[in-house]
């Protein structure tokens, strides 16, 4: 094997680069555009790049709040939030909602976004978003280090109790991911990418067939 030169480092000692490569390596990542409300009914809307899906049945999604922000505070009290899919057309408005504004400033109004009511929970949905998940919180976990020290970050999980999909995105009973033009966080100081139809490819999971049995025999010789 030829010699390979690596840039190696321990995160606790610093990465030694112009920009921390961690979130650029773990990417692209879907965006958790989360709407919530406080105890007085005031709406909040904020994007989270540490977001993903974690379970099929029931469907559970989750995101990490780096710091105790309004979204985490709201959900800890109400136990409800909405995930709103961010497409390319909504990118600029999504970015506006990331601004660190005072609690009494509504990001829906700041970004000129219309809201629409949810069916099963109280927080509103982003009307222009092509897909929305109404969620009820299942867990809120403060993260910790390998040594057990707490970190100023909270992982928030929610069960999806109602799904809204714009009808034109469903063809022959299948949701078309690329047609929604979702954007994803792609690392760097401000890099994003979008899912495009030409970049999609299909690769189904292998089934237990004679072909798979043959492949296994090739890598695991009989005793």
* pLDDT band for position 221 (cuts 50, 70, 90): low
CATH of segment(s) 18-219:
2.30.110.10
**Res. 42: pLDDT tops 80:** yes
Q: What is the pLDDT of residue 212?
A: 65
Ranges of H-type helices in 117-220? 210-219
CB-based burial label for 31 (10 Å; 0-12, 13-18, 19+): buried
Q: What is the pLDDT of residue 92?
A: 95
| Ranges of each domain in the chain | 18-219
CA 20/CA 167 separation, integer angstroms? 40
Which is nearest to 160 in space by CA: 8, 39, 50, 56? 56
**Residue 168 CA neighbour count, 13 Å, CB half:** 6
Please check whether residue 158 is in contact with residue 81, taking contact to mean a CB–CB distance below 8 angstroms: yes
**Res. 142: pLDDT tops 80:** yes
* pLDDT band for position 151 (cuts 50, 70, 90): very high
Q: What is the pLDDT of residue 210?
A: 64
CA 122/CA 141 separation, integer angstroms? 23
% residues pLDDT > 70 (the chain): 95
**Res. 79: pLDDT tops 70:** yes
Cβ neighbours, 10 Å, residue 91:
15
pLDDT in tens, 11-37: 889 999 988 888 888 878 999 999 999
CA 92/CA 155 separation, integer angstroms? 26
Q: What is the pLDDT of residue 203?
A: 81
Please check whether residue 169 is in contact with residue 180, taking contact to mean a CB–CB distance below 8 angstroms: yes
Average pLDDT, the chain: 91
23 backbone dihedrals φ, ψ, rounded to 5°: -75, -10
Q: What is the pLDDT of residue 197?
A: 84
**Res. 206: pLDDT tops 80:** no
| The residue to which tokens 């709407």 are assigned | 35
Q: What is the pLDDT of residue 208?
A: 60
Question: CA triplet 142, 143, 146: central angle to 5 degrees?
Answer: 145
Mean pLDDT of 51-69: 97
pLDDT in tens, 102-119: 888 999 999 999 999 999
Please check whether residue 127 is in contact with residue 112, taking contact to mean a CB–CB distance below 8 angstroms: no
- Residues forming a β-bridge with 53: 61
Higher pLDDT, 26 or 64: 64
> Which helix H or strand E contains 16, and what residues bound it?
none
Termini Cα distance of the chain: 30
Higher pLDDT, 216 or 41: 41
* pLDDT band for position 191 (cuts 50, 70, 90): confident
pTM: 0.88
Q: What is the pLDDT of residue 32?
A: 96
Q: What is the pLDDT of residue 112?
A: 96
């Amino acid at each position: 094997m030829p010699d390979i030169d690596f840039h190696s480092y321990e995160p606790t000692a610093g990465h030694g680069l112009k920009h921390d490569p961690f979130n650029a390596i773990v990417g692209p990542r879907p965006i958790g555009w989360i709407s919530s409300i406080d105890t007085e009914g005031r709406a909040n809307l904020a994007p989270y790049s540490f977001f993903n899906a974690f379970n099929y049945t029931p469907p559970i999604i989750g995101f990490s709040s780096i710091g105790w922000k309004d979204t985490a505070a709201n959900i800890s009290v109400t136990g409800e939030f909405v995930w709103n899919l961010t497409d390319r057309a909504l990118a600029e408005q999504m970015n506006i909602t990331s601004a660190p504004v005072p609690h009494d400033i509504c990001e829906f109004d700041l970004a000129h976004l219309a809201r629409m009511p949810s069916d099963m929970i109280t927080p509103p949905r982003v009307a222009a978003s092509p897909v929305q998940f109404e969620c009820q919180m299942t867990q809120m976990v403060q993260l910790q280090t390998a040594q057990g020290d707490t970190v100023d970050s909270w992982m928030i999980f929610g069960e999806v109790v109602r799904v809204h999909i714009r009808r034109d995105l469903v063809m022959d009973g299948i949701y078309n991911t690329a047609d929604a033009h979702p954007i994803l966080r792609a690392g760097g100081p401000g890099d994003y990418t979008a899912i495009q139809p030409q970049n999609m490819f299909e690769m189904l999971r292998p089934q237990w067939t004679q072909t798979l049995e043959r492949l296994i025999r090739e890598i695991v010789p009989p005793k």
